[in-house]
Amino acid sequence: MILFLFLAHLAVGIVFSLVFVSREAGVKFFRFNAGLAVILLGVAFALRPPEASANEAGRLAVLALAVLEAAMLLYWGTVGRALASIRPAIVGTAVAAGLVALVSQGIGQAQGAAGQTMAVASFLSSAALLGGTCTAMILGHWYLVIPSLQVSHLQSIVKVHIASMVVRVVVVAAAVFLAIVSWQPGTGPSFKGYILSVSGIFFWQRVLFGLVGPGLLSYLTWETAKIRSTQSATGILYVDFFTVVVGEVLAKYLLLATRVPL
């Protein structure tokens, strides 16, 4: 379930982030990322556990992901070749399906209005962070493919990445606060007790690798992008993406272990 959620969110995030990339990145850039999203969703479906479809929301999420994969497969097969007039509709369908999938997954993974709202916010911000980081990393590499590409395009996607990072921090902080203040004696172990116990090491690793690390690295990326050092920015983004991956995998584990959408 952890890998299913992680791969699905990464694929959806890539689709979201492509909307913010200029066409000047070239047909091959968009085809590569569309193909990557299709592959990630294919692997996610291969690893999909039975509990992913255990309720109505879960089944809707799986259906939406299937629509997303079909749309991106069509996009991959036609970008730069055919169906140019309806390509915005294809992308719009993919984005809408991704939103439905994330909202449905969030609802299916939590109980109560407050819990479901936080889960949806967590899944949306997770996908945005994963997709923004991955796309920024690939776009940075693309300056080796198209040396004449304006550095402003990398700066723009790094801004998107930083914005998603800020939103992710706010959502995680809100989830932790809600989990602590909403606990009542007799309802099971408290989340505060969990994070202060030995088992809480996973929570602190999630904070260190998934929030603090990417926060610092995204700032360094922005500073190097400002001085037009695309190779240095790309190198930092590789490390940045790795820390985000570690943090988001741990977030999925903590969700299933504690029911807190981190």
The confidence score (pLDDT) of residue 103 equals 96
Residue type (1 letter), 88:
P
End-to-end CA distance of the chain: 15
The confidence score (pLDDT) of residue 61 equals 95
The confidence score (pLDDT) of residue 204 equals 94
Domain containing 231 — which CATH number? 1.20.1630
- Give the separation between CA 199 and CA 251, rounded to whole angstroms: 14
Token digits of residue 221: 């990326």
The confidence score (pLDDT) of residue 31 equals 94
Rounded to 10 degrees, the C-alpha dihedral 142/232/15/36 comes to: 60
Query: For the residues of 36-69, what is the DSSP string, one character each?
Result: HHHHHHHHHHHT--GGGGSSHHHHHHHHHHHHHH
Q: Is 5 helix (H, G, I), strand (E, B) or coil?
A: helix
Residues with pLDDT less than 70, the chain: 186-188
Chain centre distance of CA 147: 28
pTM score, whole prediction:
0.94
The candidate with the shortest Cα–Cα distance to 33, out of 109, 174, 141, is 141
The confidence score (pLDDT) of residue 184 equals 74
Which residues does 225 contact at the CB level (< 8 Å), separation at least 6? 151, 154, 155, 158, 233
The confidence score (pLDDT) of residue 187 equals 63
The candidate with the shortest Cα–Cα distance to 75, out of 149, 123, 19, 128, is 19
Token digits of residue 158: 């790094």
- Give the separation between CA 24 and CA 153, rounded to whole angstroms: 9
- Give the separation between CA 189 and CA 240, rounded to whole angstroms: 34
The confidence score (pLDDT) of residue 186 equals 62
- Number of domains into which the chain is organized: 1
Token digits of residue 229: 């050092």
Query: For the residues of 193-207, what is the DSSP string, one character each?
Result: HHHTSGGGHHHHHHH
The confidence score (pLDDT) of residue 102 equals 97
The confidence score (pLDDT) of residue 190 equals 81
